Amino acid sequence: MLLPKNAARSDTALNVYGCAICHICSTHEPELASAVAAAFHIRLPGSEGARLGILLQQLLASSKFQRDLIAKTRMTVDDASTGTAFSIHCMLAEGLVIISCTKQDYPTRIVFPNSTKSKGLLAELATHATDTLGSEVFTTGAGMGGTVRKVQLAPRMVQLLEHVCAEYEDPGNYDRITRVQQEVDDVRGVMQDNIDGLLTNQQELKSLQGKTNDIANASRGFYREARTTRRTMQCQAYQLHAIAGGVVIAFLLWLVHGFIWGDSDGGVQPTPPSPPL
């Protein structure tokens, strides 16, 4: 069943996908599957949650699963057939089967704790199931072997289950190793960000160095062109000065020649005109 609108719900990516409380009605023939009554609390939204609910029903209806659980009293089943990889953790508690579904990398030591200081996820769910529900809710109206009868939970019970799932959503709150690993991951993330920043700065420095080299090359080329242009203009100026100087000198020589050699024609007097006849 889905969580009511008035109950708290985690908005982040889920680590705990849901839980279930079941009761297996034993049969006299061990090779046959027993009837199961179960109440489901699925936290996954949409089609993923629906597929998880169907998978849980199929698993509970399996005679092999029932025999293995009764023999081991607690076990974990990994599955990825629905497209979402998750682990199904199961435990027997006072005639009830307590199930939690988590990510596959969720620490099992939090689900099945070895320390007496922490009850663990399944133990917390079992406490609410036995204290609030009890097995009587599941034993009435038992179905046929190999079937799963859904039990509708009251809103208050749904909120209790959701509260436990939300409390164990962050494994670092209940596991020192996970908490230290999270701190290491945080430090690693900061270091990775610093390294990425250094690499970005290095790339920007390389780009800036390339632009500086281009500007330097352009400046050297401009300097060479300016020097060549200046020399060309100087040569042209010198040529103009030389031409102007030559013209001035030629003009001065022409004037001096007129003054100095203007009356130097051998002192020959002009021939007077002949008298008239």
Edge-to-edge strands, sheet with 35-42: 74-79, 86-93, 96-103, 16-25, 35-42, 148-150
Alpha helices in 39-120 (DSSP H): 46-61, 63-72, 108-111
Q: Which residue has the higher pLDDT, 36 or 262?
A: 36
Superfamily classification of domain 16-174: Longin domain (3.30.450.50)
What would the pLDDT profile of 32-53 be if each residue is shown by its tens digit? Answer: 678 888 899 999 988 888 999 9
Please give the pLDDT value at position 252: 78
Confidence of residue 249 (pLDDT cuts 50, 70, 90): confident
Mean pLDDT in residue range 142-158: 80
Chain-wide mean pLDDT for the chain? 79
Residues 6+ apart with CB under 8 A from 250: none
Q: Which of 62, 49, 63 is nearest to 20 (CA)?
A: 49
Q: How many CB atoms lie within 10 A of CB 3?
A: 19
- Dihedral, CA of residue 258, residue 260, residue 262 and residue 265, to nearest 10: -150
Please give the pLDDT value at position 19: 93
Tokens of 188: 């690693």
Please give the pLDDT value at position 163: 92
- Dihedral, CA of residue 159, residue 161, residue 162 and residue 166, to nearest 10: 140
Q: Could you tell me the pTM of the whole model?
A: 0.60
Confidence of residue 272 (pLDDT cuts 50, 70, 90): low
Give the residue extent of every domain in the chain.
Answer: 16-174, 177-253
Q: Which of 263, 227, 29 is nearest to 146 (CA)?
A: 29
Q: Which residue has the higher pLDDT, 260 or 31?
A: 260
Mean pLDDT in residue range 136-164: 80
Mean pLDDT in residue range 157-172: 90
| Residue 119 in this model has a pLDDT that exceeds 90 | no
Q: Find out whether 66 and 96 touch, Cβ atoms under 8 Å.
A: no
Mean pLDDT in residue range 218-246: 84
Please give the pLDDT value at position 31: 61
Confidence of residue 143 (pLDDT cuts 50, 70, 90): low
Please give the pLDDT value at position 40: 93
Residues written for the chain: 277
Q: What is the largest CA-CA distance in the chain?
A: 188
| Residue 210 in this model has a pLDDT that exceeds 90 | no
In 3-state terms, what secondary structure has residue 70? helix
Confidence of residue 118 (pLDDT cuts 50, 70, 90): low
- Tokens 């297996």 correspond to 24
Show the beta-strand stretches assigned E in 61-191: 74-79, 86-93, 96-103, 148-150
Please give the pLDDT value at position 43: 92
- Tokens 């690993």 correspond to 181
Tokens of 153: 């939970």
Confidence of residue 140 (pLDDT cuts 50, 70, 90): low
Q: Which residue has the higher pLDDT, 137 or 91?
A: 91
Q: Are strands 35-42 and 148-150 parallel, antiparallel or unpaired?
A: parallel
Q: Which of 111, 45, 50 is nearest to 78 (CA)?
A: 111
Measured CA to CA in angstroms, residue 135 lies from 33, 132, 145, 190 at distances of: 19, 10, 18, 50
